[in-house]
C-alpha cells in the first residue's frame, strides 16, 4: 500500500491542512516512463513569475507534486529542502509544485513559515501537471536527467536524505 493522498476523491473542497507528524515514508518507484521528455508545461508563483519545465535542462531535475493538505507531502518537505540545500542548485534542481487550489499566497506562507528556503512556491492551480503525468496520489516526484528525459517517478512519501535516495539520484547523474 502506498503512503500518499488520494487524488481521486470526489469531495467538493480540499481538506484542511494536516500537521504531517504521523505520516510515514512509504512509496513506490516506477521506471515505466523512462526516456520520456519533460512536458512543455508552464507554472507561476504568487507574484506571477513563470517557470517553464521544458527549459530546465542542463542538470538533473527532481519535480515534486504536493499539496498543503497532504500529510505525506508535508512530512517529506523538510527532507526535500535538506536535499536541495545539500546538493545545491548547480548539481540538482529541486522544484516543488503545489497542487493546491486555494492560491499562491497560502502556499508561499506555508513554505516560508516552516523555513523551507530551498523550495520556491510554484503553483499548479489548474492541476495541469497531475493531468499530464496522470497522477492520482500525492506526493509524486518525477526525476529527469540533465537532458530532460525521465529516469523514474516515485509515488508516496520518501526520505529524500536517505542513502537509498543517493542511489536513486545516481541513476540520472544527480
Predicted pLDDT at 80: 96
Strands, sheet with 93-98, edge to edge from the N-terminal-most edge strand: 27-30, 150-156, 140-144, 61-66, 93-98, 122-123, 42-44, 50-52
Predicted pLDDT at 6: 59
Q: Is residue 10 part of a domain?
A: no
Q: What is the CATH number of the domain that holds 75?
A: 3.40.30.10
Predicted pLDDT at 8: 41
Predicted pLDDT at 88: 80
Q: Is residue 138 part of a domain?
A: yes
Domain that holds residue 154: 34-170
Residue 152, C-alpha cell as written in the block: 523514474
Q: Is residue 7 part of a domain?
A: no
pLDDT < 70: residue spans in the chain: 1-24
State the first-to-last Cα distance of the chain, in angstroms, to the nearest integer: 28
Predicted pLDDT at 23: 47
The domain tally of the chain equals: 1
Q: Is residue 28 part of a domain?
A: no
Q: Is residue 6 part of a domain?
A: no
Q: What is the DSSP letter of 72?
A: H
Q: Is residue 22 part of a domain?
A: no
Predicted pLDDT at 49: 94
Q: Is residue 55 part of a domain?
A: yes
Q: Is residue 25 part of a domain?
A: no
Predicted pLDDT at 98: 96
Contact, 76 vs 157, CB < 8 A? yes
Residue 135, C-alpha cell as written in the block: 497522477
Amino acid at each position: 500500500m502506498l503512503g500518499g493522498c488520494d487524488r481521486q476523491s470526489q469531495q467538493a473542497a480540499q481538506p484542511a491542512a494536516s500537521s504531517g507528524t504521523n505520516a510515514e515514508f512509504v512509496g513506490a518507484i516506477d521506471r515505466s516512463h523512462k526516456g520520456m521528455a519533460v512536458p512543455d508545461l508552464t507554472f507561476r508563483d504568487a507574484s506571477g513569475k513563470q517557470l517553464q519545465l521544458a527549459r530546465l535542462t542542463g542538470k538533473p531535475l527532481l519535480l515534486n507534486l504536493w499539496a498543503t493538505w497532504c500529510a505525506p507531502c508535508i512530512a517529506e518537505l523538510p527532507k526535500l529542502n535538506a536535499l536541495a540545500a545539500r546538493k545545491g542548485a548547480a548539481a540538482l534542481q529541486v522544484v516543488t509544485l503545489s497542487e493546491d487550489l486555494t492560491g499562491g499566497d497560502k502556499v508561499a506562507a506555508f513554505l516560508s513559515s516552516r523555513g523551507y528556503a530551498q523550495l520556491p512556491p510554484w503553483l499548479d492551480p489548474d492541476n495541469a501537471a497531475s493531468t499530464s503525468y496522470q497522477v492520482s496520489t500525492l506526493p509524486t516526484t518525477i526525476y529527469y536527467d540533465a537532458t530532460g528525459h525521465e529516469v523514474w517517478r516515485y509515488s508516496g512519501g520518501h526520505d529524500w536524505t536517505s542513502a537509498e535516495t543517493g542511489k536513486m539520484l545516481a541513476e540520472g547523474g544527480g
